Amino acid sequence: MKTKTFFNTPWGERGNVEKIALIVGGSIVLYLGYRGFKNFTSLVRSKVGQVQAGQELGALQNKNINPNYTNTQYGIFADTLQTAMGSGWDGTDEDSIKAVMEKMKNDADILKLNTVFGTREGYTLSGWFRYEMDSDYVDYYVNEPLRKNGVTFQF
């Protein structure tokens, strides 16, 4: 006669506590698998976006359209945007966002900012804007300052 083990015990012969433990454990494994897959796909999308932005930036530089700031300054801009959008109980600091966007003087600037911002807490810069603000706010605080500076890239 075959010895019953955890793995070959029929469902009907398991106790209620064991059934609940299996269901909860299986649910946790499925949830963690889903989160891992979601994080992986987000990372892949981010990397593809960064590669595309880098290619577009290279094409602009071939036309002598170059970023106007240092990498360090773009890092400061990116940090300022993240702080403005993640300001907790006070809500989104739209004025800080607008101030950064007003400093973007050409498409190379905004592509460089996108590249330096990368993915933070699972969001790209565009994703942060869409998550934090209604489309009217994105247009007023983000896209309008870009248009005033002749930037064709829009969020």
Parse the chain into domains and list their residue ranges: 47-148
DSSP string, 98-153: HHHHHT--SHHHHHHHHHHH--BTTB-HHHHHHHHS-HHHHIIIIIHHHHHTT---
How does pLDDT run across 101-143, given as a tens digit for each residue? 999 999 999 999 999 999 888 888 999 899 889 999 999 999 9
pTM of structure: 0.66
139 Cβ neighbours under 8 A, 6+ residues apart: none
d(CA 138, CA 19): 50
pLDDT tens per residue across span 90-102: 678 999 999 999 9
* 3-class DSSP state of 77: helix
- CA pair distance 94, 38, nearest whole angstrom: 29
